[in-house]
Amino acid sequence: MEEAISAVRTFNRFYTRRVGALNQRFLGTELTLPEARLLFEIAHGDKLVAVEIQRSLGMDAGYMSRVLARFESRGWIVRESGGEDARRRPIVVTPEGRAIFDVIDQRQRDEIREMLAPLTPTQRLDLGAALGEARTLLDPTPDRDFSIRTWRTGDMGMLAARQSILYRVEYGWGRGLEHNIAETVAGFLGGYREGRDQAWIAEVAGAMAGSVLLTDEGDGLCRLRLFYVEPMARGRGIGDALVRACLGFARETGYGAMTLWTHAVLTSARRIYAGHGFEIAATAMHEDFGKPELGETWRLELD
């Protein structure tokens, strides 16, 4: 915990200095960063009321009221009719306020563009994914947005590392599990059959949030493999969407049945399998991952 606290504080000090958050005149304007942030919300909102903005920003109500009064006196915003309570009157940016906002917005875009210019395209992708993951870790339920795409070069190594780390932390599974994952990934890459095998990657805010693979087992049978969802992305329906993508591909490809191997302790995954009609075909205890576990083979007839 102490190491994490120190890391967050170190990054905060770096970034507030880098973006000029402590400057009295943000980006050379007459506004501070909180004032610019408030103007941003108004400019991008649809007739928001003060209480909505205050709740969204977590800004002190008294301070925000004074800033809004200053904006209004300068002709940057107007409050439309909506009752006598000023907190419930829709706030709209004026053309004058829009012009001020456009200056700040362009200057900030230019600052960030200059900051990112030394990075390679790959580094920019890495940065976007890292920032998205950091935001989702610290605020795991801002919305339910996610995306699912088919795999591309580099995904297999990333999902192998993430699953090995995740299952070690959550279930104490060690080298045997990592070996199993590595063999699965190597077999998928080495024996990949276009149109018969496939993999899907879920992303939240640009960060890898989960995966599932499908492989051809022969005789009309396919196998669901390496299904997982990152802890920071759970509760969005990602797991169900990944399994649905896998099943949809299997049916379109003409497979007659799908099988998978899982464990009794993976309760969330088992609920998803059962919800899609899979049934347990066999069970067996093993210690391949360093401790006794009940393995389960599940099967679904697709036709």
39-84 residue pLDDT tens: 888 888 777 788 888 877 788 888 888 888 888 888 888 887 765 5
Higher pLDDT pick, 121 / 246: 246
**105 and 251 in one domain?**
no
Confidence of residue 86 (pLDDT cuts 50, 70, 90): low
* Domain-located, residue 124: no
User: Range of 183's domain?
Assistant: 147-301
What per-residue confidence (pLDDT) applies to 55? 79
- Ranges of beta strands (E only) in 185-256 are 198-204, 207-218, 221-229
- Dist CA 160 CA 147 (whole Å): 20
Residue 160, SS3 per DSSP: helix
Total domain count, the chain? 2
Q: Which tokens sit at 123?
A: 């580094």
Q: Which tokens sit at 226?
A: 């390496």
What per-residue confidence (pLDDT) applies to 266? 95
Beta-sheet pairing, 91-93 with 293-301? unpaired
Beta-sheet pairing, 279-286 with 221-229? unpaired
239-286 residue pLDDT tens: 999 999 999 999 999 999 999 999 999 999 999 999 999 999 999 999
Stated pTM of the model: 0.68
Strand partners, 203: 147, 208
**167 and 28 in one domain?**
no
* Domain-located, residue 138: no
Q: Give residue for tokens 């030394």.
A: 118
Average pLDDT over residues 98-127: 85
For residue 244, CA distances in Å to 200, 221, 275, 276 come to 11, 17, 11, 8
**74 and 16 in one domain?**
yes
24-46 residue pLDDT tens: 777 777 788 888 888 888 888 77
Q: Which tokens sit at 292?
A: 């006794």
Triad 286, 289, 292: Cα angle to 5°: 40
**198 and 275 in one domain?**
yes
Average pLDDT over residues 2-16: 81
Check which CATH number belongs to the domain holding 96 and give it. Answer: 1.10.10.10
138-166 residue pLDDT tens: 776 655 688 999 999 999 999 999 999 99
Check which CATH number belongs to the domain holding 286 and give it. Answer: 3.40.630.30
**42 and 157 in one domain?**
no
180-226 residue pLDDT tens: 999 999 999 999 999 999 999 999 878 889 999 999 999 999 999 99
**272 and 151 in one domain?**
yes
**295 and 154 in one domain?**
yes
**77 and 212 in one domain?**
no
**50 and 155 in one domain?**
no
State yes or no: pLDDT of 87 exceeds 60: no
Residues 6+ apart with CB under 8 A from 198: 150, 151, 213, 214, 246, 249
Q: Return the half-sphere exposure (C-beta side, CA atoms, 13 A cut-off) of residue 94.
A: 12
